Amino acid sequence: MKNTKTTFHFPLSILVGEGKLILDAGTAHPEVAARLDKDYLATTATVLGNVKTQAADQKQKRGQTGVLSKAQLDKIHAFHLLIDNAKKTAKLAFPGQTVKLREAFQVGVHKPHDLQSQLQRGRTVLASMQAAENTAALTSKGWTADETAALDAAITEMENDKTLLEAAKDASLGSTGKKNVQADDLYDRLLTVQNAANLQWPESDPANAQTRADFRLGKFPPKDHGGHHVEPTPTPAPAAK
């Protein structure tokens, strides 16, 4: 039986990390719940938990669980956020330089998906962020030596964590059919919550900027990772009682 592919094209760790932020926003801004089905946020939180821990529920035939702990997932998520920020800065610093962005900063390059390959691409991005000929342009867009050092440290820590690298081989961030079905359910749910937030706090009102940011509107799905943003069916306002 073939594995079911996800409808999104970015690492599972980003889905989990961004999902937590979106659900935290739902708790902080309960008005959004009125636009959703009863217990929708609570059910979505359960799905998020399942996606995060599902590797622990699957017996590995090779006798390895391939379980990624919360600490390991946090490392991967932090690494992906740093890479995402580096690519966004590079796109601002070198607009229109398609070949440079792809080759030097890996913009638009997402395969292979395994963690070792991601770390190799991360090293390519890091080297380009460190290159003297790129420094001025990157600095002019807000990038600092501290970000470069943080990216270097994140990659080095993961490369030296043999337990993480071994576990990631089997808990491959969304590779099995069952895992992908659950991840797709979470993805659709997060888009639905965002849609409800977009209706509740429209972009046309500047006063809504922070609330919209809390729900990661405009940030999730991450475009630099090839996020396939399929709009859910618009969530109607609740009927007047």
Could you list the mean pLDDT of each consecutive 10-residue stretch along the chain, which spans 241 residues? 60 87 96 92 92 54 53 87 92 94 91 86 96 96 94 95 81 51 88 95 95 94 60 48 44
pLDDT at 6: 63
DSSP string, the chain: -PPPPPSS-S-HHHHHHHHHHHHHHHHH-GGGGGGS-TTHHHHHHHHHHHHHHHHHHSPPTTS---PPPHHHHHHHHHHHHHHHHHHHHHHHHSTT-HHHHHHHH-TT---S-SHHHHHHHHHHHHHHHH-HHHHHHHHTTT--HHHHHHHHHHHHHHHT-HHHHHHHHHS-SS-SHHHHHHHHHHHHHHHHHHHHHHHHS-TTSGGGHHHHHHTTBTTBS-GGGT----PPPP-PPPPP-
pLDDT at 204: 93
pLDDT at 153: 96
pLDDT at 133: 97
- Other C-beta atoms closer than 10 Å to the C-beta of 196 total 25
pLDDT at 183: 85
